[in-house]
């Protein structure tokens, strides 16, 4: 038979039993959709993460106080920022300092214990550029505003305080004094502590909030080629007297770890998708076995008219492959749609690797061939007289 004859004969069984064919193909489609969607969502998440790292950079290091020998929280010297800036590969240095006795409130009527977990931090002017943060609304401090009672709120802080936009008439109550909100930050991916902070200028914190001028987090940007070298000397440079009381970290490592965790979860979901695909293949095999039993008279008539065993095998094998192919195409399309919708909702870049689509379709053909092989062989072995006398 020609390829067109094989397709036409193989499709006869699907056309005569459309509901059964649809349900069998649906099992295959669910398995393929699950696998394509899992790979697509993982790839979309990874691509978004890679773009974040490319935009934010992997050369940001943070210096924070560690623990003393007695177990109390250590402090960083006032001179630590200046000392770190003298490290040759270091390109930018900024710092924030926590104002210990100040909390952030929407107004002066709120009980002191209901601070909402928000911190008041003094910020250096170059903080925004160093941590690659952006403004959602309003402006950052300048040489003038950092000296006056003005504040820039982190994204979470603004939400908790119920402030949607900055303005000259928008004020919050910090440390027993009113501060004008001049800006609101976008979420800071590499410096999440800023999200829950009300930031004030370093000079203003010293003048209005009795800030002790001690940095609690120092952010540094270094030459990419020397990040590890800088990381190795930061503790001793920040606090030469007690380098063991200094903690140095690389925020981008957290994003990398997140990607690794996501990949492990993806592998688990791929396994579940493979199981669903296998179950779909069993459904196809069951459909084909029943089809052989129901169509014995057809098989006997074709054999009586001269059809060979090979042609009978080819007919049922083609029917099984067509059934699986329909499920594969539908599943791949469904997986791409699910990936696109979810990625759009999460604000990710939509990425569906071609290999997942083609590989999934190829897997359906392999499963279809395996599922249809036994029923095809069984059909070809039916003797014409036995098949005709069955009905």
Predicted local confidence at residue 57, as pLDDT = 66
Whether 139 contacts 182, CB under 8 Å: yes
Q: Angle, to 10 degrees, between the axis of helix 252-294 and the axis of helix 309-346?
A: 150
Question: For the ranges 140-149, 285-294, 312-321, 353-362, which has the lowest average pLDDT?
Answer: 285-294
222-275 pLDDT, tens digit each? 998 898 899 999 999 999 999 999 999 888 776 665 555 556 566 666 676 677
Q: Give 86-106 pLDDT, tens digit per residue.
A: 999 999 999 999 998 899 999
Q: Are residues 42 and 130 in the same domain?
A: no
Q: What are phi and psi of 176, to 5 degrees?
A: 80, 15
- pLDDT at position 95 is 95
Give me the pLDDT at residue 3, please: 63
User: By C-alpha distance, which of 135, 30, 128 is closest to 364?
Assistant: 30
Pair (239, 274) in one structural domain: no
Same domain for 239 and 342, yes or no, is no
Q: Which two tokens stand for residue 76?
A: 């960083």
Q: What pLDDT shows up at residue 358?
A: 84
Is the same domain home to 8 and 96? no
| Rounded-to-integer distance, Cα 333 and Cα 355, Å | 14
- pLDDT in the model for residue 199: 97
8 Å CB contact between 274 and 310: no
pLDDT for residue 70 is more than 90: no
* Cα(7)–Cα(113) distance, integer angstroms: 76
Residues 72 and 210 in one domain: yes
Residues 182 and 105 in one domain: yes
Q: 236 and 119 in one domain?
A: yes
Q: Which of 284, 282, 349, 330 is nearest to 36 (CA)?
A: 330
Select from 123, 178, 185 the least CA-distant residue to 159.
185
Quick one: 66 and 187 in the same domain?
Answer: yes
pLDDT, mean over the chain: 82
CB atoms within 10 A of CB 18: 9
**177-185 and 150-153 as β-strands: parallel, antiparallel, unpaired?**
parallel
d(CA 389, CA 374): 22
Q: What is the domain count for the chain?
A: 2
Residue 138 has pLDDT above 80, yes or no: yes
- State residue 179's pLDDT score: 96
Of 140-144, 166-170, 197-201, 357-361, which range is least confident? 357-361
Q: 20 with 111, same domain?
A: no
Q: Express each pLDDT in 17-29 by its tens digit.
A: 777 778 777 877 8
Full residue range of the structural domain in which residue 66 is found: 60-249
- Domain boundary residue among 226, 249, 272? 249
Question: Does 166 have pLDDT greater than 80?
Answer: yes
Beta strand 90-105 pairing with 246-249: unpaired
What would the pLDDT profile of 177-233 be if each residue is shown by its tens digit? 999 999 999 999 888 999 999 999 999 999 999 899 999 999 999 998 898 899 999
Q: Are residues 277 and 346 in the same domain?
A: yes
- For 336-353, write each residue's pLDDT tens digit: 998 899 888 888 888 888
| C-beta separation of 201 from 146 below 8 A | yes
Which among 249, 275, 310 is the end of a domain?
249
Q: How far is CA 90 from CA 28, 84, 126, 168, 189, in A?
A: 56, 8, 14, 37, 21
Distances (CA, A) of 332 to 110, 213, 245, 340, 343: 55, 59, 55, 12, 16
3-state secondary structure 331-385: HHHHHHHHHHHHHHHHCCCCCCCHHHHHHHHHHHHHHHHHHHHHHHHHHHCCCHH
Q: Among the three residues 216, 249, 282, which one is the final residue of a domain in this structure?
A: 249
Same domain as 323, residue 213 = no
Q: Which two tokens stand for residue 258?
A: 């997140």
20-29, 47-56, 252-261, 370-379: least confident range: 252-261
pLDDT digits (tens, 9 = 90+) for 114-137: 877 899 999 999 999 999 899 999
Is-above-0.85 flag for pTM? no
Residue 233 sits in the same domain as residue 327: no
pLDDT in tens, 292-336: 666 666 666 666 666 677 777 777 777 778 888 888 888 889 889
């Amino acid at each position: 038979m020609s390829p067109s004859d094989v397709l036409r004969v193989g499709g006869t069984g699907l056309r005569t039993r459309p509901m059964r064919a649809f349900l069998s193909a649906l099992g295959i489609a669910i398995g393929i959709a699950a696998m394509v969607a899992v790979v697509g969502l993982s790839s979309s998440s990874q691509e978004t993460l890679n773009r974040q790292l490319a935009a934010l950079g992997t050369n940001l290091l943070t210096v924070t106080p560690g623990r003393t020998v007695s177990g109390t929280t250590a402090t960083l010297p006032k001179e630590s920022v200046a000392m770190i800036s003298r490290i040759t590969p270091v390109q930018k240095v900024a710092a924030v300092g926590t104002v210990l006795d100040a909390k952030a409130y929407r107004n002066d009527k709120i009980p002191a214990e209901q601070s909402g977990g928000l911190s008041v931090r003094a910020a250096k002017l170059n903080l925004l550029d160093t941590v690659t943060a952006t403004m959602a609304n309003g402006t950052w401090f300048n040489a003038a505003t950092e000296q006056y009672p003005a504040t820039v709120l982190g994204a979470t802080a603004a939400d908790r305080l119920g402030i949607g936009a900055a303005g000259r008439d928008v004020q919050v109550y910090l440390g027993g004094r009113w501060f004008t909100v001049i800006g609101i930050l976008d979420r800071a991916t590499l410096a999440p502590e800023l999200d829950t902070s009300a930031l004030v200028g370093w000079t203003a914190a010293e003048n209005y909030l009795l800030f002790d001028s001690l940095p609690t987090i120092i952010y540094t940007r270094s030459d990419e080629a020397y990040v590890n070298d800088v990381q190795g000397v930061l503790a001793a440079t920040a606090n030469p007297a007690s380098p063991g009381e200094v903690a140095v970290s690389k925020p981008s490592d957290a994003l990398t770890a997140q990607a690794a965790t996501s990949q492990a979860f993806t592998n688990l979901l791929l396994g579940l998708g493979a199981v669903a695909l296998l179950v779909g293949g069993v459904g196809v095999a069951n459909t084909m076995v029943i089809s052989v039993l129901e169509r014995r008279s057809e098989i006997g008539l074709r054999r009586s008219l001269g059809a060979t065993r090979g042609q009978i095998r080819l007919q049922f094998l083609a029917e099984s492959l067509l059934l699986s192919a329909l499920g594969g195409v539908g599943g791949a399309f469904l997986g791409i749609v699910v990936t696109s919708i979810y990625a759009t909702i999460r604000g990710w870049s939509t990425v569906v690797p071609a290999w997942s689509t083609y590989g999934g379709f190829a897997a359906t053909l392999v499963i279809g061939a395996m599922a249809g092989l036994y029923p095809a062989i069984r059909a070809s072995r039916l003797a014409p007289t036995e098949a005709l006398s069955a009905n």
